Amino acid sequence: MLSDVYQRLYDQLKTSIPEDRLIHDDLRTLAYGTDASFYRYVPNLIVKVESEQEVIATLQACRGLGLAVTFRAAGTSLSGQACTDSVLLVLGDKGWHDHAMPEDRSEITLQAGLRGAQANRLLAPFGKKIGPDPASIDSAKIGGIVANNACGMASGVELNSQYTLKDIRLIFADGTVLDTRDEHSRQAFRSQKKDWIERLQALSARLKGDPALVDKIQRKYKIKNTTGYSVNALIEQDDPIKMIQHLIVGSEGTLAFISDVTFATAEEPSTKATSLMLFPDISTMCEAVLILRQCPVQAAELMDRLALRTVEDKPGVPDHIKTLGPDVTALLVETAASDEAGLAANIKEIGEKLQPIAMAHEYHFTTDPAETAALWTVRKGIFPSACSERPVGTAVIIEDIAVPVESLGDCLLELQKLFEKYDYRNCVIWGHVFDGNVHFVLTPDFSDTSAIEKYKTFMTEVVDLVVDRYDGSLKAEHGTGRNMAPFVEKEWGPEIFAVMREIKDIFDPERLLNPDVMISDDPDIFVKQFKPMPAAHEIVDTCIECGFCERNCMSNDFTLSARQRIVIWREISELRRTAPDSPRLKKLERMYAYYGDRTCAADGLCALSCPVEINTGLLIKDLRAHQTGGIGRFLAGQIGGHMDRVTGAMRGTLGTVDRVHRLLGSTVMNGLARGTRRLSFERLPQWNPSMPGRADVVRPERAYYKGVDRIVYFPACIARTMGPARQDEPQLSLVHVTENLVRKAGYQIVYPEGLDKLCCGMAFNSKGFRRTADEKAAELEEALIAASEGGRLPIFCDTSPCLHHMKQTLDPALKLYEPIEFTLSYLADRLDFEPLGETVALHAVCSAKKMGLEDKLVALAEMCAAEVVLPDVNCCGFAGDKGFSVPELNAFGLRKLKEQLPQGVRQGFSTSRTCEIGLSLHGEIPYQSILYLVDQVTRTKE
């Protein structure tokens, strides 16, 4: 229930924003309200906006009612600046994704909802990138990157948003729009907002007129600094419009909404070399840093002894690290150049200059991509490793300080003493040393109230250390948030802090934009509203709620993302312990059945981008396993035990439905099927015009010829059941096509004994029927061991998801292949390819992505067609049979498919029959197995 004032807001907004984007239920306000910080604020109302008009409508309505608004991009913020208990204005999934670049790609205009890595993908073909490079760049969105002034390992201060931002389009709290690249907009703004301009000019004059303050600001921005407003804008710029543009950088949504930005692009060097340098202690490392800063080095990443310990067993970490002393400190150093000769010169120069420095071990630079990737994986693995080793139930706090590089060594030693004093163990330290910027992790258990008091006094000492002793930044790159808001005055002093207060007062006098962030009157705001992290399930207990999984989660923006599933499961688990009879628990459980469970495709793609490798799909499967009742388990057992009859019956049904479809046509059939499904309360599967007909029965050969190579072919039960759909060409079952192809390549096919009864068990497993799944896997393993002569012959399965499941469950000695790798490894050399002179579309199914086969799919298709297009589609959401039972999930998963298919594309190819049904339906062209394409364009090699 919305309270009175939020109900009034809702009623106003629903006249301009569809109600399904005005969210206020218990489950989604908690889920969508969560960000990566350790604070918990649950919004009253969430507004998903898709256009500037909707932003303006929301801001004006909130202003009229005196309600606070917080903007949200990807929610990866760590300092408590992307959460609220009032109105959360979230960038929707449809708008905010446009970009524009001039011919020379010297700049790029990006709307606020694009992720940083998407921008870099657009620029990569031209050897360019955007300047800011936070470690979260794959997930973080442009709005959040600019509003936090986020940066990372290579950007330093020079390439951050502040110094690479050319223009910006803003919406202020009263709905005023300013587009700094548009002369009309600038003029209109100047005349409408005369008082703002005058006040800013006065502030600028006040600062510029005081040399001590100018000196302080310049000194403090030599290193990274995101504490308070970017007051350097007031001394570096003369034009008030430019001042505003630069003040917005790092303003954390407290001054205006960012609609789009134009960045000057940076060069992406073409060659790089990386070295892991080990020094005997922190002080020696700091001496080396001062030298390296004078060298052509683009990144230098610190890892202290504890940090190294957390990763010393990981692949790519040299063995000798374990044997080194207790104070050893590492730097991961990267140098880059535009050609090989330049790179060699860089390495030589670094070597010569570092000669006087004592090393704990000799070092070398590598250009080998695998070795380089392993080293960077180690560096990036420090934070997740530290998190995954923490006790269950504890919070994760990453601090983010910077001090002048010359003082870094002393500061780090004092920091370590503070850890000891407060008995904070295992506080790993790492960071970007050229900027004097280090991070450290604390993992307190805030369910114990004394831990809050301890954290408070510890932080007060850290503040004293960083500010009083080293004149450093309390937040170097993660933003002030609520976490450092009480200490902004301490860091900047009363004069500059007064300027910051006035900045807020100019643009947001009612303090409605993200209150308590950046500037707060509450000295204890940083120790309030800690997020509970209760134990919930061993699969997800290490989750830090960072949100990195969301970009890969197909149900993100539809129902819940992987992170949000975990957040709600944590809440449900806690309520089951503390308030088992509460109506809130019942409500959350009821909603979770759809939002958490039914709409999870269980594809596990979330694990690919999770720093601690959590597969939330496994959580959902486990919950399903616990829900399966006796009758369900009995039925699953019956189906598993009679696969031959079940597949036979399904073939019969598909054949009958197909005949009816032919008779009635798609329109009548669609209407009939929808009506029947509605009458069954959505229990009957949803028919669609891309529905397959029956597959032909597989008739295995029994006689084998001597001297002819053999392979084992296991057609998945889906391929044995589902034949071509009405629009498919040729009208042949996949098994026929495969047989033809394999024989063309000169192989004999060995089918496993008892094929009709075999199944990999995946379908049972994903529904939680583990026992039947295990039984089917065991049967299949036995049959494949026999057919492959104890694992000697390669085994081919025509369906990627089944093969992926087999790889996880069957004897690792079996040589298992799915269509892409099998064709490339066994067939391609024996066939002549005559590529089609047209463009074909591809879809890499989740299991192919998880097996790293996306590039190989493209390579194979490129052998078969003049051009290949791989639309940017995540998991399609068909998820075995969810395309029938929860068709809206499939429709959401493929909502952007059609628009990405170029005109004239006639055929699409993939490696999973069920996914192909949804792809055909929503792409509006037939999708078939890639084997159809290979068969179409090949003949036996002459």
Q: How far apart are CA 351 and CA 360, in angstroms?
A: 15
For the packed helices 930-937 and 854-864, what is the interaxial angle rounded to 10 degrees? 30
Helices 26-33 + 562-578 axis angle, to 10: 120
Residue 147 as a binder of ligand FAD (CB under 6 A): the answer is yes
Does position 592 interact with ligand SF4 (CB under 6 A)? The reply is no
Sole window of 147-155, 461-469, 683-691, 736-744 interacting with ligand FAD (rule: CB under 6 A) = 147-155
- Give me 395's structure tokens: 């919070």
Q: Does 88 bind ligand FAD (CB under 6 A)?
A: no
Burial grade of 455 (CB within 10 A; 0-12, 13-18, 19 or more): buried
Q: Which helix (H) or strand (E) covers residue 386, if one does?
A: helix 382-388
Please choose, out of 22-30, 70-78, 638-646, 920-928, the segment that lies near ligand FAD by the rule CB under 6 A. 70-78
Q: What residue ranges in 715-843 does DSSP mark as E strands?
A: 722-725, 748-750, 795-797, 816-817, 831-833, 836-842
One of 272, 565, 570, 922 touching ligand SF4 (CB under 6 A):
565
Number of residues that bind ligand SF4 (CB under 6 A): 29
- Smallest gap, in angstroms, from Cβ of residue 257 to ligand FAD? 4
Least distance to ligand SF4 from the beta carbon of 615, Å? 7
Residue 622 tokens, joined: 């486990």
Nearer to ligand SF4, 515 or 617 (CB): 617
Tell which one of 260, 545, 775, 916 touches ligand SF4 (CB under 6 A).
Answer: 545
Please choose, out of 234-242, 559-567, 779-787, 900-908, the segment that lies near ligand SF4 by the rule CB under 6 A. 559-567
**Separation CA 163–CA 225 (nearest Å):** 13
Shortest Cβ 82–ligand FAD spacing (Å) = 4
Q: Does 603 bind ligand SF4 (CB under 6 A)?
A: yes
- The answer to whether 545 and 531 are in contact (CB under 8 A) is yes
Q: Which residue is nearest to ligand FAD (CB)?
A: 144
Q: Does 504 bind ligand FAD (CB under 6 A)?
A: no
By beta-carbon proximity to ligand FAD, the closer residue of 545 and 597 is 545
What's the Cα-to-Cα distance from 142 to each of 82, 113, 265, 457, rounded to whole Å?
Answer: 14, 6, 14, 35
**Candidate residues 72, 309, 624, 776; the one interacting with ligand FAD per rule CB under 6 A:** 72
Cβ-based nearer residue to ligand FAD, 441 or 875: 441
Pair 738, 755: CB distance under 8 Å: no
The secondary structure of 77-121 as a DSSP string is: -SSS-S--SSEEEEE-SSSS--EE--TT-SEEEEETTSBHHHHHH
Longest C-alpha distance within the chain, in Å? 96
CA pair distance 67, 53, nearest whole angstrom: 19
> Applying CB under 6 A, does 474 fall inside the site for ligand SF4?
no
Residue 601 contact, options ligand SF4, ligand FAD, none, Cβ 5-8 Å cut-off depending on partner type: ligand SF4
Candidates 120-128, 143-151, 631-639, 878-886 — which segment interacts with ligand FAD by CB under 6 A?
143-151
Residue 478 binds which one of ligand SF4, ligand FAD, none, with CB within 5 to 8 A depending on kind? Answer: ligand FAD
Whole-number Å distance between alpha carbons of 262 and 186: 16
Three-point CA angle 804, 807, 809, nearest 5°: 110
Among 549, 669, 745, 749, binds ligand SF4 (CB under 6 A): 549
566: contact with ligand SF4 by CB under 6 A: yes
Binding mask 237-256 for ligand FAD (x = CB under 6 A): ---------------xx---
Is residue 134 within the footprint of ligand FAD (CB under 6 A)? yes
The option from ligand FAD, ligand SF4, none interacting with 800 (CB < 5 to 8 A, set by class) reads none
Alpha helices by DSSP H, listed for 583-711, are 583-592, 616-627, 630-641, 643-664, 666-679
Residues 608-627 that bind ligand SF4 (CB under 6 A): 610, 612, 614, 616-617, 620
If one asks whether residue 873 binds ligand SF4 (CB under 6 A), the answer comes out as no
Name which of ligand SF4, ligand FAD, none residue 562 binds, using a CB cut-off of 5 to 8 Å depending on partner kind.
ligand SF4
* CA-to-CA separations, 623 to 32, 766, 847, in angstroms, rounded: 22, 11, 22
**Cα 249 from Cα 229, distance rounded (Å):** 8
Neighbours of 852 (CB within 10 A): 9
Binding residues (CB under 6 A) for ligand SF4: these are 543-549, 552-555, 562-563, 565-566, 600-606, 610, 612, 614, 616-617, 620, 875
Binding residues (CB under 6 A) for ligand FAD: these are 35-36, 70-78, 81-82, 112, 134-136, 140-141, 143-145, 147-148, 150-152, 252-253, 257-258, 383, 477-479, 514, 546
